[in-house]
Amino acid sequence: MHVRTVLGRIAPENLGITLGHEHLLIDLRGLWENPPPERAYLTDQEPTLENLGELIRNPYDSKLNLLIDDPELTITELLSYQKVGGQALIDMTTVGIKPDPQGLQAIAQATGIHIVAGCGYYRQPLLPESLHERSKEEIADDLLRWLSEGMYGTTIRAGLMGELGTSSPIYPFEERQLRAAARVQQKTGASINVHPLIWGHEHLHILDILEEEGADLSRVAISHCDELVEPAWHARIAERGAVLSFDTFGSETYFDRSFAQEPRDTDRIECVIRLLEKGYGAQLMLAHDICTRTQFHRYGGWGWDHLLRNIVPRLRHAGVSQEELDTIFIETPRRLLTLQGD
């Protein structure tokens, strides 16, 4: 048994405290949308103290805010996580948002943090059209190769599949990828992590597709569940045996053009407590899903130490025990990342 990091195998018991969904290097500029005239000036601006307020409300208005491509900066930011006890994380950057296995390797070497890389394709709208018609078999071959030989032309192997992108409604390519992943899971035992569209309610539909194709739902995690403050809906996902990834802690952004806003961490904590009360504590992972510069300390954000430094004390104050915290931060990620064979 082992966990496969970007630097090779480690014993599962050495993984330690793990963030379930992060992006160390990412190019999310495919999600940039032309801002309204009054915010057009933000398009090519780097985040600064002057525009921070505006970018916290509308993070996707600045292209440079959506690009994290400086390994040195990432290393500096990660040291804050390590300083508060962080030991490991899962990088979920898949094809479409510019995965960089060699960059991850360099960051792991420089920090000593265990980095496990996911593999796969992100949402169809961010993929070149030439990929849209890929068959289930071809996608399965891709996933299997990335897990068993190496990702994207390197010999650096993925440790799981994800985040696999889905939209609402789910595009045909996205459904084929889910089915392919279920097949590859049966061959390799690798776990699956799915990105659902944030405010869509496709979670159960996604689980239906995976289950129909033979996936073991106890080795499936659904990302971004904490973007919905809906405990009853969370319980319906948990009932199916899947892991809920509450991975947007620290993200309390507004989206002015659609009059939408993300939940607050206090809402997320409330939802964690409700799942614990219902006995689903072993089906939860937490993370920050950092994917914009304004989330970094360098640019005024709360950084990768936010959960351990700010949220864990609040969870304790709400009555969460050390044992429950260990399950969330150590045991569940370790279970999902543990592989048999080679």
Burial class (CB in 10 A: 0-12, 13-18, 19+), 259: exposed
> In the bound complex, what is the minimum distance in angstroms from residue 97's beta carbon to Zn ion?
9
Interface with Zn ion, residue 203, by CB under 5 A: no
Nearer to Zn ion, 2 or 32 (CB): 32
> In the bound complex, what is the minimum distance in angstroms from residue 134's beta carbon to Zn ion?
20
Q: Which of 22, 196, 215, 217 is nearest to 118 (CA)?
A: 22
Say how many residues touch Zn ion, by CB under 5 A.
2
Quick one: which segment of 107-115, 145-153, 160-168, 258-266 binds Zn ion (CB under 5 A)?
A: 160-168
Nearer to Zn ion, 101 or 196 (CB): 196
Cα–Cα distance, 274 to 322 (Å, whole number): 17
Nearer to Zn ion, 250 or 281 (CB): 250
Nearer to Zn ion, 22 or 163 (CB): 163
> In the bound complex, what is the minimum distance in angstroms from residue 104's beta carbon to Zn ion?
17
Task: Name the DSSP class of 327.
Answer: I
Quick one: which segment of 8-16, 60-68, 189-197, 251-259 binds Zn ion (CB under 5 A)?
A: 189-197
> In the bound complex, what is the minimum distance in angstroms from residue 224's beta carbon to Zn ion?
6
Cα–Cα distance, 20 to 12 (Å, whole number): 15
Looking at residues 117 to 156 of the shown chain, list those that interact with Zn ion (rule: CB under 5 A). Answer: none
Pairing between β-strand 192-195 and β-strand 114-119 as defined by DSSP bridges: unpaired
Whether the Cβ atoms of residue 5 and residue 157 lie closer than 8 Å to each other: no
Nearer to Zn ion, 26 or 276 (CB): 26
Helices 231-239 and 265-277 cross at an angle (nearest 10°) of 50
Greatest alpha-carbon pair distance for the chain in Å reads: 57
Q: Which of 13, 89, 46 is nearest to 305 (CA)?
A: 89
Pairing between β-strand 67-68 and β-strand 26-27 as defined by DSSP bridges: antiparallel
> In the bound complex, what is the minimum distance in angstroms from residue 248's beta carbon to Zn ion?
9
* Percent of the chain as helix, strand, coil, to the nearest 5: 45, 15, 35
> In the bound complex, what is the minimum distance in angstroms from residue 20's beta carbon to Zn ion?
12
Interface with Zn ion, residue 195, by CB under 5 A: yes
Quick one: which segment of 170-178, 190-198, 231-239, 261-269 binds Zn ion (CB under 5 A)?
A: 190-198
Nearer to Zn ion, 195 or 293 (CB): 195
Give residue number: closest CB to Zn ion. Answer: 195
The binding site for Zn ion (CB under 5 A) comprises: 163, 195
